[in-house]
Amino acid sequence: MQPSAVCENLHTTEKFAVLAFKEFANGRAGQVFVELRTGANGKGATTVFPPSMHESGELVKWVRDGEPARVAGNELRRSVLKLAVACLLNRRYPAAGSRHEGALVLGGMLARAGWTSDDIRHLVEVLARAASDDDVYDRVIAATSAVNVKANGRDVSGLQRMRELWGSDAADTLAKWLGRRDDLYTPNKHAGLEDTVALEFAEQHAEHFRYIAPSKHWMRWDGSHWQVEHTLGAFDESRKLCRSAGDAKAKTVASVVTLARSDRRIAATTDQWDRDPWSFNTGEDHEPNL
């Protein structure tokens, strides 16, 4: 988020008349946190103007009198993005006991997206104070340290850890907003993107997915028993992870599924499956011991 030396006019540089920062859950756009109306691409963008009445019944009015402030377009866009991120993460602030690590992870992800120390400091301080965190200073230092760590060529956290500590919806939404998703994802230094995502697939889905190579069947645990998965559920889950990683091409999604099905946490044989046939699919509250 380095400010540009050139002052942008958003109505001439943006592709869309309205920049809407929407929440993304399960790959689908949801509620809008904040909008920036630029009127770009020759389309224009209307908005409610004082002293109009909002549809909610509230009278729209100026906060104070005076000349409108002048601000460079890139600075305005940067500020609105920070506001959107704060709104997204405010209700997802980690619980006591994981807040230090949560700050480290958030700082790492934002450093990957090119945010400056000042921008990270501002955001984290706002979030910590809003959550009545008892150690705001520690959270700020933890988060901003990621900028220097990354600048020195060392790894910092990305989307995977963000998902674990802040939630999948938050990670997926930030991936959409921040762009540069290849930078946001944290691949293994010695592995390709497909292998890294395949490991993440096994980590997230080992409890409810199995693959039986001889019969070429995917099995899925539905909460009471295992059943053959006929809806390409593994591909759907792979697609979600690949989308977060920045490459959801069909070839990449299929490669992840191929790699994941050989993972020792996923792979199963017919002999393993039938070793205790009397307890298989009995409707017990626990999963069968494969």
Residues 124, 290: Cα–Cα separation, whole Å: 44
pLDDT at 5: 36
In whole angstroms, how far apart are CA 268 and each of 77, 162, 164, 206, 229? 50, 30, 27, 11, 14
* Contact partners, residue 254, CB within 8 Å, separation at least 6: 235, 238
Q: Each residue of 239-284: pLDDT tens digit?
A: 888 876 777 889 989 999 999 998 888 888 776 655 454 444 444 4
Whether the CB-CB separation of 85 and 115 falls below 8 Å is answered with: no
CA–CA separation, 266 vs 290, rounded Å?
A: 11
Cis-peptide into 51, omega within 30 deg:
yes
pLDDT at site 158: 76
Alpha carbons 34 and 81: distance in angstroms, whole number: 9
Q: How far apart are CA 285 and CA 131, in angstroms?
A: 37
Question: How confident is the model at residue 285, as a pLDDT?
Answer: 41
Q: Helices 233-245 and 168-178 meet at what angle, rounded to 10?
A: 50
Q: How many CB atoms lie within 10 A of CB 40?
A: 20
| Start-to-end Cα distance in the chain | 49
Burial class for 221, CB neighbours closer than 10 Å (0-12, 13-18, 19+): middle
Please tell me the predicted confidence (pLDDT) of residue 7.
42
**Cβ atoms within 10 Å, residue 104:** 21
Low-confidence residues of the chain, pLDDT below 50? 1-7, 182, 187-190, 275, 277-290
- Contact of 8 with 74, CB cutoff 8 Å: yes
